[in-house]
Structure 1
Amino acid sequence: MLGFVAPLVLGALAALGIPVLIHLIQREKKRVVVFPSLMFLRRIPYQSVRRRRIRHWALLVLRLAALALIVAAFARPFFRRDALAAATQQGAREVAILVDTSYSMGYGSRWTRAQAAARDAINRVSAADRASLVFFASNAEVAVRSTSDRGRLTSALAAASVGPGATRFAPALKAAGSILAESPLPRREVILISDFQRRGWEQTPGRDDVRLPDKTTVTPVSVGDAASSNLSVTPVSLQRTRFETQDRITVTAGVANHSPSAANVAVALDVNGQRIQSLPAAVEPNGSTSVTFAPFTVATRNMRATVRLPPDALLRDNLFHFVVSPGEPVRTVVVGRPGAAREGLYLMRALSIGDAPRVDATERTSETVSDADLRAAGVVILNDVPVADALADRLARFVTAGGGLLFSSGPHAAWPVRVDILPGAPGAIIDRTSGAPLRLGALEYSHPVFELFRAPRSGDFSAARFYGYRGVDTPVATVLARYDDGAPALMERKVGEGRVLLWTSTIDLGWNDLPLKPVFLPFVHTALRYLADYAEPPTSLVVGQVVAAPRASRVAGPAHGAVMALAPSGARSTIGAEDGAIELSEQGFYEVRIQGAGAESATVLASNVDLSESDLTPMDPRELIAAVIGRPATGPNGFAEPRPTDEAQAQAQRLWWYLLVAGGLLLAAETLLSNRLSGVS
């Protein structure tokens, strides 16, 4: 479409007809001249007409055309084009092609459409352009960086596939911004190919920090569907019960319906590859429901279980994997004095209650504690006992290797000074039996031992009364709790891989009435969990999580072999001895074990897709682009770059220069023709 920078100048074209009109209608006025005699004058024929006629049409056309071209040149004409077409004449491009590979792109034919759109973008890359191909889901991967080789780009696109990740736009846009910021080319463009899930932008961490370089053109290409329906399995709920010596698990699974129509579907439970039960479920439009399967016995470690739905247009969220194992008890050795079993009564009762974790407590005296007891134990509790040098050395090795030690320094407690693992040496006895009893004052509620009691009405330690405690000589550790006189009540020290807690009073009714208070039971269990470094084994995880290697694998040393992780696809990787972490990049079951060890050392992790991706509700791409570049997107295709101005397009095309040259040539031709016609006349 033709446009003009100064269209008012075209009004001068109307003036071209004025001379012609005057020439046609002008009549020569008669002027009477009185002359005395005509005998000496030569007679010349004279023609009188009412209107003149145009005799040299070619000359007139040349003159009018030349003037019209000159007038048009001053009007600055140009051909109107859209932003993309106008941009092609402004120099080489640096193009970042961002392709969404999240698992929602596996819905229907979305991935096929995305590949076609990416190929079209690659085919438009000229020899002067450079393009980068970035695949993104939860994270971004730059597959090909800044090249004009369309073959490399096409090959990388052909090798790509939809993965198990969720849509997160920010990492991809940040990668594109980094590529474009380093480019010396005059034009920068981002082509974003996605189904534009709303949750992919709303749940993107750091989205407010995404900014692209100035004058970057963003072209969104949506491959989503106008209407979609999807069913997904929600995370399961597990209820564990103990029957005789075995654990039984009851599984409750949920089904979410992301569509405007009701659905009836069969929900199945598989355990170790065997179908346990299938139940019908009726789900309301845009609603959810749940089914509860019959309980099954957890007979072995690492039982792999899956809740399944029938296949639909989006397959990955029709499965939910989880792992169940028999409850692993925290093996604890309680060391007391011979003949003083009653002093450990409240402690042993507290340890016998609860199943998260279940505690397997063994009572010993300082003379009967064996090396086998220490090898099997995760925690040792010294309940007001004197410790000999030999036992102290063994306990020091136990703690350094990762064990937990709780030392209760009652009136009979003693510890050899040369074995330096306690937070402080037990000192003098402070007797408060006369006068007002002490109470616990300052507690470190941010510490895991007391974090459970941080909320209001979750436990009152100040209700307990203390009638005696041991002072601490040369304290070298952190104080977690103090009496109201400022003296330490609970101290912590980390030694090697293990932890030591020093309780400066008794764990019975000898010096305090804490065992009679409601906080005693949860306090004992939180202290035990902390000393054992106990964490409830996760039954399921999410793709993209980086998780610590299980404790069973971290004990591997040079003598036991490397710690290996086997992914669901069969890929093997070695877990670093220092970081001990693994990134879950696939959906399914991971197996982590010590290389060369038996199955008893293995730990199985269940990895599931992020179920927020199951909601296929799209967003307007222009909302995303406006947030990224700081101004609204325009145009039918949502181009973020505004249409080039008329002045810019006219300057780029320079049509006025060609019109001036053409007008000058016509004037030269008119001059030659006029001279020739004048000579003939």
Structure 2
Amino acid sequence: MSFLTPLFFVALAGLAIPVLIHLIQREKKQVVRFPSLMFVQRIPYRSVRRRRIHNWLLLMVRMAALALIVAAFARPFLERDEVTAAAGEGAREVVVLLDRSYSLGYADRWERARAAAYDAINGLGGGDRGSVVLFDSGAEIALRSAAAGERQPLTAAVAAAGGPTAAATRYAPALKVAGSILAESPLPRREVILISDFQRAGWRGEEGAQLPAGTTVTPVPITTGGEVANAAVTGVSFARSTFSSQERVAVTAVVVNRGTRPLAGGQLALEIGGRAIQTERLEVDANSSTSITFAPVTLTAEPMRGTVRAGADALAADNVFHFVLTPAQPVRVLVLDRAGGGGNALYLMRALAIGEAPRFEAIVRPPAAVSDDDLRRVSAVLVNDVEVPAALGRRLQKFVEGGGGLFVVLGPRATWSAEVDVLPASLQAPVDRTRGDAARVGALEYTHPVFEPFRSPRSGDFAAARIYGYRAVTPTQDAQVLARFDGGAPALLERRIGTGRVLLWTSTLDLAWSDFPLKPVYLPFVHRAMRHLAAYSEPAPWLTVGQVLEASFGSGRAQPASGVVLTPSGRRVGVGVDEEGAEVLELAEQGFYELRNRAGDAVTAVVASNVDTAESDLTPMDPKEIVAAATRDDGGRAAASAAPPTPEAQERSQRLWWYLLCVGILLLAADTLISNRLSEA
């Protein structure tokens, strides 16, 4: 034991002063003269030169109390070596973290990892307790805090792990789970045995993965020597074309050889619907990549399941890449124009006809001829400077509330009923800019999806368009102004209604009030506006294991979400509900998922799930990096570093003075009780 302020022990010498005074003090003789001694009793004189202590217990209590108080002020603490020696004598709480990511499927790594886990379990002492945690991108407690005397459940938990999963490696979730187990343990010693191949891609230096103070981390690296080839299909791309009115897709696959030996004489096959339709020769140098393009495939009306498969090697999981080919789905647009005036929408119709990614299908109707079936078939409605009666306005409002998009183009003839609250602004009188300088469009909101492609230099100049007239408007409180004219008047506004959107362009999109249709930005502007209103997004041809899939994937705007999912292994699983109430499912397998209707008898969508190709990079990291990060305290200091903590830090963490002071005060209280009892006697 050591002391921060040992000079306080000088005060212990003061404990002897009252005792010495009591022992050496001589009683002074005092002579009292009496006139007569015949009535005074004679008592023999006792010398007080040498006095004796009569109550040793009381003296010891007082001296011990004062000594403890003095020792408390000296701030005692136990040296770190003493604490370690004391802790080393106790039982251990051991957590075995077993990596089961798909990279452990490389060669014989999984068998060696399980053997290391069995060795760790067999090494538990009689008083130890053990836990088994399996981890990949997440962590799962296979068995929690089992007694070492019952090794069979621990070994059974390792055996039940089966084999590597399709997920990637993430160390932070496993360390957090281990920390929660160790924090609840009453045992004096804590240890984490981390069994992994320690891939560099699995560690991102995550915060919050610190273990409780005093925890020992023992890494067990699982590596494989020798020079081998490791080919991985990291992705595919598609080139669409049309031949004889049929859509065709040419698939190009990218293959990376992450091994240290060239790959020669291999094969790369393209499978459609589970049947190989083309095979190409595959040769890749060590630590290099190549791309191979297959012959075009004619698409069908239904989604087509595709797979690119490389030959077998030491890591099979990354040799396969799945995808889904679907015909390009057009964006259907309903254009409302005046009856008999097809020329008014000439530029709009030509702009929509040019679109290829996506393709637009536009139909033109006068306001009086719009049916409910028309609204059900389209994703967006474009109202081109026409009068909208109240009945049609209410139907369009319902259409937008259900997720549709509405693009309103104002001109001299555009009117809306005041009973319908759907526009992002109230309409005012036209503004004539034919005299003097024409208005220019500026102050664009480049962060909005409509204008985002135009934010880079030389990507389009909206100010080049001359606007000779526009409608003055008063924006509503919930409207967003996306563009303004040079005078500050709103040019484009947006408003959300329910789950849909409304865009309002305050001028015309023909040559009546501007030369905007003649400018290069006109075509991409119309396309971006309609894509945004239709909420169009390219269907994902594949997802990655670990991603969350919404059960409404592949469903139309009015279709209900699926309730049953068929996994690649053939299991039927239900979907969960997230915090926002959406039905979701986390992808955990490699292959094709089938989303079915609630009855389970019809497939509504097919989703391809692939492994994270970053996991196929087997480049290892130094396990000490994880150990150092996991054993750091909140101040960023390494708890397991070679430099011992300062005496002040050790004393502050142990607080032994507080206990000594409390015991000293209790002894003083006992002294008071003993003194009172003796005085009464």
Shorter-chain TM-score category? 0.7 to 0.9
Amino acid at match of 2:218: T
Q: 1: CA distance between counterparts of 2:450 and 2:126?
A: 65
Query: Cα gap change, 1:575/1:396 in structure 2, threshold over 3 Å: closer, same or farther?
Result: farther
- Matching residue within 580, 584, 588 for 1:581: 584
Give the aligned partner of residue 493 of structure 2: 491
1:509-528 → structure 2 map (5 Å cutoff): 509-528=511-530
Superposed displacement of residue 540, structure 1 = 1.4
Give the aligned partner of residue 153 of structure 1: 154
Work out whether 1:539 is the aligned partner of 2:538: no
1:175-574 → structure 2 map (5 Å cutoff): 175-201=177-203, 204=204, 207-227=206-226, 229=228, 230-264=230-264, 265-473=266-474, 475-476=476-477, 477-550=479-552, 552-553=554-555, 562-571=562-571, 572-574=573-575
1:105-120 → structure 2 map (5 Å cutoff): 105-120=104-119
Work out whether 1:144 is the aligned partner of 2:143: yes
Q: Which moved more, 1:585-594 or 1:545-554?
A: 545-554
Query: Cα gap change, 1:597/1:360 in structure 2, threshold over 3 Å: closer, same or farther?
Result: farther
SS of 1:502's partner is: strand
Q: 1: CA distance between counterparts of 2:283 and 2:111?
A: 32
SS of 1:221's partner is: strand
Amino acid at match of 1:121: A
Query: Cα gap change, 1:556/1:405 in structure 2, threshold over 3 Å: closer, same or farther?
Result: closer
Superposed displacement of residue 598, structure 1 = 6.7
Query: Cα gap change, 1:503/1:549 in structure 2, threshold over 3 Å: closer, same or farther?
Result: farther
Give the aligned partner of residue 591 of structure 1: 594
Superposed displacement of residue 554, structure 1 = 6.7
Amino acid at match of 2:467: F
Query: Cα gap change, 1:371/1:554 in structure 2, threshold over 3 Å: closer, same or farther?
Result: closer
Give the aligned partner of residue 66 of structure 1: none
Give the aligned partner of residue 61 of structure 1: none
Q: 1: CA distance between counterparts of 2:258 and 2:130?
A: 37
Q: Are the counterparts in 2 of residues 399 and 497 from structure 1 also a CA contact under 8 Å?
A: yes
SS of 1:367's partner is: helix
Superposed displacement of residue 406, structure 1 = 0.4
Query: Cα gap change, 1:515/1:550 in structure 2, threshold over 3 Å: closer, same or farther?
Result: farther
SS of 2:223's partner is: coil
Amino acid at match of 2:341: A
Q: Are the counterparts in 2 of residues 281 and 290 from structure 1 also a CA contact under 8 Å?
A: no
Superposed displacement of residue 552, structure 1 = 4.1
Percent identity, aligned pairs only, is 54
Q: 2: CA distance between counterparts of 1:538 and 1:582?
A: 16
Q: Which moved more, 1:493-502 or 1:175-184?
A: 175-184
Q: 1: CA distance between counterparts of 2:359 and 2:460?
A: 22
Q: 2: CA distance between counterparts of 1:597 and 1:385?
A: 46
Amino acid at match of 1:518: P
Give the aligned partner of residue 36 of structure 1: none
Query: Cα gap change, 1:360/1:561 in structure 2, threshold over 3 Å: closer, same or farther?
Result: closer
Q: Which moved more, 1:489-498 or 1:265-274?
A: 489-498
Superposed displacement of residue 555, structure 1 = 5.1
Q: Are the counterparts in 2 of residues 499 and 531 from structure 1 also a CA contact under 8 Å?
A: yes
Q: Are the counterparts in 1 of residues 251 and 295 from structure 2 also a CA contact under 8 Å?
A: yes
1:571-650 → structure 2 map (5 Å cutoff): 571=571, 572-574=573-575, 576=577, 578-596=581-599, 599=602, 602-630=604-632
Q: Are the counterparts in 2 of residues 246 and 326 from structure 1 also a CA contact under 8 Å?
A: no
Amino acid at match of 1:603: A
Q: 2: CA distance between counterparts of 1:337 and 1:575?
A: 49
| Structure 1 segments unaligned to the other structure (5+ residues) | 1-84, 632-638, 646-681
Amino acid at match of 2:563: V
Q: Are the counterparts in 1 of residues 575 and 583 from structure 2 also a CA contact under 8 Å?
A: no
Query: What per-residue deviation string (whole Å, max 9, x for no partner) do you get for residues 131-163 of structure 1?
Result: 222111112222222332533322221111310
Q: Are the counterparts in 2 of residues 239 and 251 from structure 1 also a CA contact under 8 Å?
A: yes
Superposed displacement of residue 242, structure 1 = 2.1
In the superposition, the TM-score normalised over structure 1's length comes to 0.77
Superposed displacement of residue 292, structure 1 = 0.9
Q: 1: CA distance between counterparts of 2:313 and 2:438?
A: 69
Q: Are the counterparts in 2 of residues 432 and 466 from structure 1 also a CA contact under 8 Å?
A: yes
Q: 2: CA distance between counterparts of 1:326 and 1:536?
A: 11
Query: Cα gap change, 1:644/1:418 in structure 2, threshold over 3 Å: closer, same or farther?
Result: closer
Q: Are the counterparts in 2 of residues 553 and 593 from structure 1 also a CA contact under 8 Å?
A: no
Give the aligned partner of residue 22 of structure 1: none
Superposed displacement of residue 286, structure 1 = 1.5
Query: Cα gap change, 1:248/1:134 in structure 2, threshold over 3 Å: closer, same or farther?
Result: same
Give the aligned partner of residue 128 of structure 1: 127
Q: Which moved more, 1:272-281 or 1:258-267?
A: 258-267
Superposed displacement of residue 260, structure 1 = 2.2
Query: Cα gap change, 1:127/1:555 in structure 2, threshold over 3 Å: closer, same or farther?
Result: farther
Q: Are the counterparts in 1 of residues 564 and 600 from structure 2 also a CA contact under 8 Å?
A: no
Give the aligned partner of residue 635 of structure 1: none
Structure having the higher Rg? 1
Q: Are the counterparts in 2 of residues 218 and 640 from structure 1 also a CA contact under 8 Å?
A: no
Superposed displacement of residue 261, structure 1 = 1.9
Amino acid at match of 1:109: D
Q: 2: CA distance between counterparts of 1:642 and 1:586?
A: 44
Query: Cα gap change, 1:348/1:554 in structure 2, threshold over 3 Å: closer, same or farther?
Result: closer
Superposed displacement of residue 228, structure 1 = 5.1
Query: Cα gap change, 1:369/1:348 in structure 2, threshold over 3 Å: closer, same or farther?
Result: same
Superposed displacement of residue 293, structure 1 = 0.6
Give the aligned partner of residue 665 of structure 2: none
Q: Are the counterparts in 1 of residues 472 and 506 from structure 2 also a CA contact under 8 Å?
A: yes
Q: Are the counterparts in 2 of residues 553 and 594 from structure 1 also a CA contact under 8 Å?
A: no
Query: What per-residue deviation string (whole Å, max 9, x for no partner) do you get for residues 475-532 of structure 1?
Result: 2311111112111111111112211111111111111222111111111111111101
Q: How many residues align?
A: 550
Q: Are the counterparts in 1 of residues 227 and 261 from structure 2 also a CA contact under 8 Å?
A: no
Query: What per-residue deviation string (whole Å, max 9, x for no partner) do you get for residues 622-645 of structure 1?
Result: 2332343359xxxxxxx9686999
Query: What per-residue deviation string (whole Å, max 9, x for no partner) do you get for residues 222-246 of structure 1?
Result: 1211235311112011111122432
Query: Cα gap change, 1:604/1:338 in structure 2, threshold over 3 Å: closer, same or farther?
Result: same
SS of 1:480's partner is: strand
